[in-house]
Amino acid sequence: SLFLAQIALNPLASPHLRKMKTDVVSMCSGLLGGDKQVVGSMTSGGTESLFLAVKTYRDQARKERPQITAPEMVLPTTAHPALLKSAHYLGVKPVLVPPVPVFRADVAAMAQAITPQTLFLVGSAPAYPHGVIDPIEALSDLALSRGLPLHVDACVGGFLLPFVRKLGFAVPPFDFAVPGVTSMSADLHKYGFAAKGASTVMYRTSELRRHQFYV
């Protein structure tokens, strides 16, 4: 409450807020299977977290995979529309793959949808409309076998699943503990119970996050 009205935009003007944001990201990453290498940013909401992830993979490809001239991303139709909005703004073509029953990402069909222009894959933990967790381990195997990054959208699940697991319910692996997961989004202003708007986007390495920044 003390800092709610302060502007966190400029880390040089507000080093105390920078420190606070770094602490928040580190706590989130700790809840989500991250190690010391995982870094991230606080954002204004899940929409901005997803926007930044799409931007990161687009700009990573611009640097490291110049053969990509018409970038695409492969995602289940159950993924959040903010990904489509981001793709629209950022000039990325969304390749939408219908789910298998019941509303679970179709990993085989997603494999078919990969082209040489594919930037990255998306899975949700869970997807917002149906509360179904995509098979993140299978998506991770696919991503690793094709040398592609994998974003797990845990906007609604990021601060729910770790505690559901703690209560003793079976939760399939969905976070940075899964080796092919390269980035995650998790909304503090949902089950983190923070005031709006507050979310996090996290990356497995700082090398990857570098592509998020714009100067």
Which positions touch ligand PLP (CB under 6 A)?
A: 45-47, 50, 80, 82, 124, 127-128, 153, 155-156, 187, 199
Q: Distance between CA 46 and CA 104 in Å, rounded? A: 21
Closest CB to ligand PLP among residues 19, 196: 196
Residue whose structure tokens are 């997961």:
181
Q: Distance between CA 139 and CA 145 in Å, rounded? A: 10
Q: Distance between CA 214 and CA 110 in Å, rounded? A: 31
Closest CB to ligand PLP among residues 153, 175: 153
Closest CB to ligand PLP among residues 14, 128: 128
In the complex, minimum distance from the CB of residue 39 to ligand PLP, in angstroms, rounded to a whole number:
20
In the complex, minimum distance from the CB of residue 184 to ligand PLP, in angstroms, rounded to a whole number:
11
Q: By three-state DSSP, how is residue 136 classified? A: helix
Please report how many Cα atoms fall inside a 13 Å half-sphere around the Cα of residue 153, on the Cβ side: 31
Closest CB to ligand PLP among residues 144, 172: 172
Q: Distance between CA 33 and CA 52 in Å, rounded? A: 21
In the complex, minimum distance from the CB of residue 36 to ligand PLP, in angstroms, rounded to a whole number:
27
In the complex, minimum distance from the CB of residue 81 to ligand PLP, in angstroms, rounded to a whole number:
8
